[in-house]
Copies of this chain bind each other. A is one copy, B any other.
Amino acid sequence: MQEKLNFENDYCEGAHPAILEALAATNMEQTMGYGSDPYTASARQKIAKACGCDANGVWLLVGGTQANATVIDSLLQGYEGVVCATTGHIAVHEAGAVEAFGHKVLTLPASQGKLLPDVLLAYLREHFADENREHMVWPGMVYLSHPTEYGTLYTAEEMKELYEICRTYEIPLYVDGARLGYALACPQSDIDLPFLAKYTDAFSIGGTKVGALFGEAVVFTKKTPPHFLTTVKRHGALLAKGRLLGIQFDTLFTDGLYLQCGRHAIDMARLLKEGFAKRGMEFFLDSPTNQQFLVLERAFMEALQEKAAFSFWEKVDERRTAVRFCTSWATKEENIRKLFEMIDGLVL
């Protein structure tokens, strides 16, 4: 139905065909509800194995905001808030879902979407030295997104350092991996699932943007908060037909499909990047993942928008705008070629 080339986001198609096939193949089987089915059990096992952790720590939720709000709520006491970069998804684009459960999002300056270790450490030192700290929200956990909302990645060194700071202050570290597949598949990245399992207390593995119809796996790497299923239900996040999540993640974690989805998007993003660079187009920032950010002249942007869909990111100045192009597991190489033909055809 959509005519334009679409690079707007990484959730504009349905699911990897293997997932639809698995859903069809199991459709009339009768299973228990709420995640007590064998497919969910199998998916939890496979994810746990890939991470090197316990299957009891693996949970399957429907959406990203939902997963963040549920995990964060389960890890915080009432008097605690979640520390996060000003650009963090929970701070900006989740409509106050964290606050809805009573918790403040404590924002710290971001560097291209990243919360750097020294920024975190300085804040924690200052908080615990502040004479008025008992009148303030306590930092109860740290939230990172990896990749960040700007497509950037933490290095293993940085994440390890962040985790060690959290250990020192005895607060959990949670990593929002809504696009985790696109980080794991990145040649530049030295962070894999076992690393995350070791250097975080919880993280999510996004399915929605990486091959699934929907679904986010949450991994509690050391211990699951008590009665987490009830917390999930209380958040309206417990799917009756839990097997839908089980079947999808079971498929994604069979024969490396999840990474394969990730790799395709990264390959396509590299083509984009090379094409942009070759044409001397200005990058807004240097992203190694499936989100590519350009600075476009207003007139050029508007001309291109008539033929291809991409996202407005922010106004750079009166004349120029930052925009985002996304690839995904579903991006067709042919469409990238077409995009560049359009760009080359634009005479302004």
List residues of chain A with CB under 8 Å of any chain B CB.
1-2, 6, 8-9, 11-15, 17, 20, 23-24, 26-34, 38, 62-70, 73-74, 77-79, 81, 92-97, 99-105, 131-132, 134-138, 208-209, 213-214, 226-227, 229-231, 233-241, 243-244, 312, 330
Assess the A101–B78 pair: CB atoms within 8 A.
yes
A240 and B23 CA atoms in complex are apart in Å by: 19
| Known interface pairs A15-B27, A63-B239, A100-B102; 14 further A-B residue pairs with C-beta atoms within 8 A, sorted by A's residue number | A20-B24, A23-B23, A62-B63, A65-B233, A70-B236, A78-B231, A94-B236, A95-B137, A99-B103, A102-B102, A138-B230, A209-B240, A235-B236, A236-B237
A14 and B22 CA atoms in complex are apart in Å by: 11
Residues of B within 8 A of A233 (CB): 65, 94-95, 97, 134-135
Assess the B1–A13 pair: CB atoms within 8 A.
no
Residues of B within 8 A of A13 (CB): 27-30
A92 and B137 CA atoms in complex are apart in Å by: 8
State whether A102 and B101 are in contact (beta carbons under 8 Å apart), knowing that A136-B93, A230-B79 are contacts in the complex: yes
Residues of B within 8 A of A92 (CB): 136
Closest to A11 in B: B240
Assess the A12–B31 pair: CB atoms within 8 A.
yes
Closest to A178 in B: B240
Which of B63, B78, B131 makes the CB contact (< 8 A) with A236? B63
Assess the A9–B33 pair: CB atoms within 8 A.
yes
Residues of B within 8 A of A234 (CB): 78-79, 94-97, 100, 137
Assess the A64–B240 pair: CB atoms within 8 A.
yes
Closest to A29 in B: B1
Assess the A235–B23 pair: CB atoms within 8 A.
no
Residues of B within 8 A of A209 (CB): 240
Which of B11, B93, B137, B237 makes the CB contact (< 8 A) with A96? B137
Closest to A39 in B: B1
**In the complex, what's the smallest C-beta–C-beta distance from A29 to chain B, in angstroms?**
6
The CB with the most chain B CB atoms within 10 A, among A2, A14, A103, is that of A14
Which of B12, B14, B77 makes the CB contact (< 8 A) with A33? B12
Residues of B within 8 A of A33 (CB): 9, 11-12
Assess the B96–A81 pair: CB atoms within 8 A.
yes
Assess the A244–B213 pair: CB atoms within 8 A.
yes
